[in-house]
Amino acid sequence: MGDPLFYPFELEKYLEDLLPDRDELLLEMEKAALEETIPVVTPSVGNFLQLLIEICGSRSVLEIGTAIGYSTMYLAQGVRKTGGKVVTVDMNRGRMERAVKYLQRAGLDGQVEFSIENALHCLPKISGPFDFIFMDAAKGEYDQYLDLLIPLVNDGGILVIDNVLFRGWVVPGSAYDAKYNTMVSVMRNFLDRLVHLPGFKVSILPFGDGLAIARKER
C-alpha cells in the first residue's frame, strides 16, 4: 500500500506557487490561521472562489462559516468586480470580530454584511435568493445546511461546498484513524446525496480539501 495520506499537500503547494503573489494582509491571516489551527481554505481554493464569482457574474453571495474572514476576502474581491455583496455568517463572535477588522483593513468591509448567528437558526429567516453560496461551516451539519440552502440558490446559481473529500479519506481504501469513521461516513453519504440532487448539476474538484460545485438548473 502506498502513502496512507491521500491529501495531496505537494499538489496544493505547487498550485500555491503558481498563484500571483498574495498581499501582506492575506499572508498575515494565513499565518494566524496556521498558528491557531483555524481551518481556512487553501490559497488556490480562495483564488478559485474569486474567479468563479467573476466568471458567473455573481452579485448576491452568501457564505456559511466566516472564521477570521480569509475566504471572505476572496469572495469580497470577487463581488467588488461584479458590483455585488457578500453576506457572511458565523456563530463565533470572537472570530467574526477579527474578520470584520481584516476586511476593514483591506477596504472590503463595504462589500460585506457580517452576521453573528447560528446558520441553522438564521438560514430559515434569511432573504434570498443568492447567485453564489459558499458552504464551509461544521461538516457534521452539512445535510442540514443543504436542506436550508437549496431554496436559497437562485435559478442558474451555484452552491460551492468545501472539505467534501475530507483529506482524501472519503476515497474507499484510504487509511485514517478510526476516530474519523463517523465523519468519513457522514461525508460519503452527503456526497452521495449531493451528486443525486434533483434539479442540480454537480462536479467535484479534487484540490484543496475537495470542493463540490452544484449548479441549480434554470
Ligand X SMILES: C[S@@+](CC[C@H](N)C(=O)[O-])C[C@H]1O[C@@H](n2cnc3c(N)ncnc32)[C@H](O)[C@@H]1O
Q: Which residues of the shown chain bind ligand X in the complex (CB under 6 A)? A: 39-41, 65, 67, 70-71, 89-92, 95, 118-120, 136-138, 141
Nearer Cβ to ligand X, position 92 or 174?
92
Specify the DSSP class assigned to residue 109.
G
Q: Which of 176, 127, 135 is nearest to 152 (CA)?
A: 127
Nearest distance from residue 189's CB to ligand X, in Å?
A: 19
Report the distance separating Cα 75 and Cα 41, nearest Å: 12
**Residue among 40, 46, 41 nearest 19 (CA):** 46
Query: What distance in Å separates the CA atoms of residue 91 and residue 78, rounded to the nearest whole number?
Result: 24
Smallest distance from the beta carbon of 102 to ligand X, in angstroms?
Answer: 10
- The residue (of 89 and 214) whose beta carbon lies closer to ligand X is 89
**Nearest to ligand X of 46, 157 (CB atom):** 46
Minimum CB–partner distance for residue 39 and ligand X (Å): 4
- 213: which DSSP letter? E
d(C-alpha 78, C-alpha 66), whole Å: 16
> Would you mind telling me the total number of residues written for the chain in this entry?
218
Least distance between ligand X and beta carbon 187 (Å): 14
Whichever of 93 and 218 has its CB closer to ligand X, that residue is 93
Report, in Å, the least distance between residue 1 CB and ligand X: 30
The nearer residue to ligand X, 39 or 124, going by C-beta atoms, is 39
